[in-house]
Structure 1
Amino acid sequence: MARVGDWTLTLGEVDKTIRGKLYELEKQKFRARINVIQSMMGEHLLKEEAKKQGLSTDALWKQEVTDKAPAISDDEVKAFLDANGARLPNGGKGMEDKVRAFLSDQVAEQASVIYMRQLMSKSGGQVRLQEPEEPRYDIIGPLTEAKGAKSPKVYIVEFSDFECPFCRRVQPALNKLLEEYGDRVQLIFRHFPLSGHKAAPKASEAALCAAEQGKFWEYHDKLFGMEKSLTEESYTAYAKEMKLDMGKFDSCLNSGKKAQRVADDAAEGERLGITGTPAFFINGRKLSGAQPYGEFKRIVEEELAAEEK
């Protein structure tokens, strides 16, 4: 595809480098096609059903959707205003009619979805459009900071930053995941300090120094549990709280010998296309951001089901 002297570049090499971006583009194309297919199929099914019943499509819609959608009660309007008034202008006062119209639109939308599903089911209609295949990434480098199953069926590699609030926010979801799947899932930590987080690289080095004394995860929890800014003094204070050998810890941290490991982790993250934290690879499947527990659970369940086939 490209050549400079003896150096050549193939399309396959390019696609491998940007496979994550290409996958996102393919997903967008897939969703756009699905939306159009569903819309056009819906119009066709509605016309066919109206013809069977000797009605216009508008009359059929009124009969099956509009007239069947329940009216919004005063209690429902009041409940909505009680729950959301703080976010509405003037506390929601005088907005009863607008709220009723909003809730009516929601009910009508739900009724329309249910009716169209019924028509689709009755017709036996099918959509044969293959969803794009999700890429899997091979993670290169040390996988030593790990907890969970000793012989896991699912590996979760987390690229994280100790100064990142989103990384802190996702920790309860990861802990819950290990509580539920600890005999089948292993969590592995890799370092990806963001350029704007000046304390993050040294925090990672401190955690790796704690790892030399078998205390990585305890130190990890201390760092993420800290609400104040991270400082050199706090790294030493945490080590003392954990009763680490301070001579070894200080020597390790002051020598800067863990800086290269942190830099190597960050370089691997960049190779994998990571631009923000946290980023996860679940058996090689990329998941970005502080996702809710349910999203981790969904992917883990898919991987466990695939393992059993």
Structure 2
Amino acid sequence: MKRYKKAFFLIISFLILYSCSQREKRTVIAKIDDFVVYEEDIDKLVTQELFDEANRIYLIKKLALDSYIDDYFLKKGLNNLNMSKGDLVDSLYKKIVDSLFISSFILSHNMQYGIKDLRNTLETFPINSEEGQYLLKEKIKNSLLKSFIDSIKSVSNISSFLYPPINPKLALLSDSIVKYSAGNLSSKYEILVVSDFECDRCRESYPIIRRIYDKNKNRVKFSFTNYSSYVSISAIAAIAAGRQGKYLEYSNAIYSLGNIPTLEDLNKIARNMNLDMTQFEKDFKDTKIKESLVDNNIILNEAGLYGTPTLIVNGKLIFDLSSEQEVQRIIENEFSE
């Protein structure tokens, strides 16, 4: 019995000593007389600055990784076709590009009023000028090459383990903004979708957001909020619809239009959804909605948001929604049991 007591005493002593040694591992970075300054104390003072720097480094690495992966698949595709990059691009251009394609490309990229030269300056050239035609052809070729690479990536298994840092300002963000939630409302997991009804990239990315929502809605609460540099009539109308319990459905209808809606479009959507139009029009004119959206934009801006669309998953910003597989991977990693 004494042997067991002695062994028990030794184990407890070891645990106490170990826990003390763990506490003593705090890094000392300065001493002022007898006062000790620990690294964690300084970290608390510059938490946001450290995040900003970590996020900058993450973005640099993410861009480099994306470029590396694209180069890998381009080389793989060229080897399979036994072609050079130049020959491939010329072949795709001759096979795909015609006058209808060019017209559609110009409209979809808002180039009808001019095309920007991003090589040296931001000078804009008329689309029909010699320089404009050259830039247009180069942009089309780059787009075709990207589509070729993406077609190979879409049937490949890519696993990335590079994750964005956590923004400390986002910890309490969800409780202070105007949002509407759907999915599993009792879930401990939440994904905040930050978007803008009048943003081209948001419209382009919305089908991906919807698929991500459909895939995860049974286990995750999705919250939706609007963020832009100004308060749009679309954002006001969506909240007016939200007061009748139709925010998500109304948002879906706006993004499905494919263009920035007019007031007539917004009223038509409301009628098609059988909303109480008297109440809808009353809420649309309610100045409290506009005021709440102004406050919302300020809060999101101060939290470090700088663009849309953005997903916030567990305090991590995901602003590149071009890869549905990549977004889903981050979700799985953050919300795995």
* TM-score range for the pair, normalised by the shorter chain length: 0.5 to 0.7
Percent of pairs with identical residues: 21
The 1-side partners of 2:178 and 2:287 are apart by 21
Query: Do the aligned partners of residues 290 and 78 (structure 1) sit closer, same or farther apart at CA in structure 2, a change above 3 Å counting?
Result: closer
Deviations 1:124-175, CA, capped at 9 Å, x for gaps: xxxxxxx998224211414641111122243111121100011112222222
Aligned residues, how many?
A: 214
3-state SS of 2:46 partner: helix
Query: Do the aligned partners of residues 181 and 282 (structure 1) sit closer, same or farther apart at CA in structure 2, a change above 3 Å counting?
Result: same
What amino acid is aligned across from residue 296 of structure 1 in structure 2? V
Residue 173 of structure 1 is matched in structure 2 by 208
What amino acid is aligned across from residue 272 of structure 2 in structure 1? E
Aligned pairs for 1:263-282 within 5 A: 263-282=294-313
3-state SS of 2:218 partner: coil
Residue 126 of structure 1 is matched in structure 2 by none
Shift of 1:239: 0.9
Matched, 1:193 2:228: yes
Greater relative CO, 1 or 2 (CA 8 Å, sep 6+): 1
Contact 1:203–1:230 (CA under 8 A) maintained in structure 2: yes
Matched, 1:236 2:261: no
Matched, 1:164 2:199: yes
3-state SS of 2:198 partner: coil
The 2-side partners of 1:242 and 1:193 are apart by 26
Provide structure 1 residue ranges, at least 5 long, that are not aligned to the other structure.
Answer: 1-9, 32-70, 92-130
Contact 2:164–2:316 (CA under 8 A) maintained in structure 1: no
Q: TM-score w.r.t. structure 2 length?
A: 0.55
Residue 141 of structure 1 is matched in structure 2 by 176
Greater Cα offset, 17-26 or 186-195: 17-26
Deviations 1:256-292, CA, capped at 9 Å, x for gaps: 3211221122112111111111122101111114332
Query: Do the aligned partners of residues 231 and 20 (structure 1) sit closer, same or farther apart at CA in structure 2, a change above 3 Å counting?
Result: farther
Aligned pairs for 1:21-100 within 5 A: 21-27=52-58, 76-77=82-83, 81=87, 85-87=91-93
Residue 242 of structure 2 is matched in structure 1 by 211
What amino acid is aligned across from residue 166 of structure 1 in structure 2? R
What amino acid is aligned across from residue 193 of structure 1 in structure 2? S
3-state SS of 1:157 partner: strand
Residue 190 of structure 2 is matched in structure 1 by 155
Deviations 1:193-230, CA, capped at 9 Å, x for gaps: 235xxxx5221111000001111111101111112332
The 1-side partners of 2:272 and 2:242 are apart by 15
Contact 1:20–1:273 (CA under 8 A) maintained in structure 2: no
3-state SS of 1:258 partner: helix
Query: Do the aligned partners of residues 188 and 24 (structure 1) sit closer, same or farther apart at CA in structure 2, a change above 3 Å counting?
Result: same
3-state SS of 2:190 partner: strand
What amino acid is aligned across from residue 233 of structure 1 in structure 2? E
Contact 2:191–2:222 (CA under 8 A) maintained in structure 1: yes
Q: Which of the residues 328, 331, 334 maps onto 1:297?
A: 328
Shift of 1:28: 7.2
Deviations 1:17-62, CA, capped at 9 Å, x for gaps: 434421134447989xxxxxxxxxxxxxxxxxxxxxxxxxxxxxxx
Residue 100 of structure 2 is matched in structure 1 by none
What amino acid is aligned across from residue 223 of structure 2 in structure 1? I
The 2-side partners of 1:80 and 1:242 are apart by 51
Residue 220 of structure 1 is matched in structure 2 by 251
Matched, 1:18 2:53: no
What amino acid is aligned across from residue 233 of structure 2 in structure 1? K
Query: Do the aligned partners of residues 172 and 250 (structure 1) sit closer, same or farther apart at CA in structure 2, a change above 3 Å counting?
Result: same
Provide structure 2 residue ranges, at least 5 long, that are not aligned to the other structure.
Answer: 1-40, 63-77, 98-161
Query: Do the aligned partners of residues 288 and 176 (structure 1) sit closer, same or farther apart at CA in structure 2, a change above 3 Å counting?
Result: same
Tell me which stretches of 4 or more aligned residues in structure 1 moved more than 4 Å.
Answer: 10-14, 28-31, 78-84
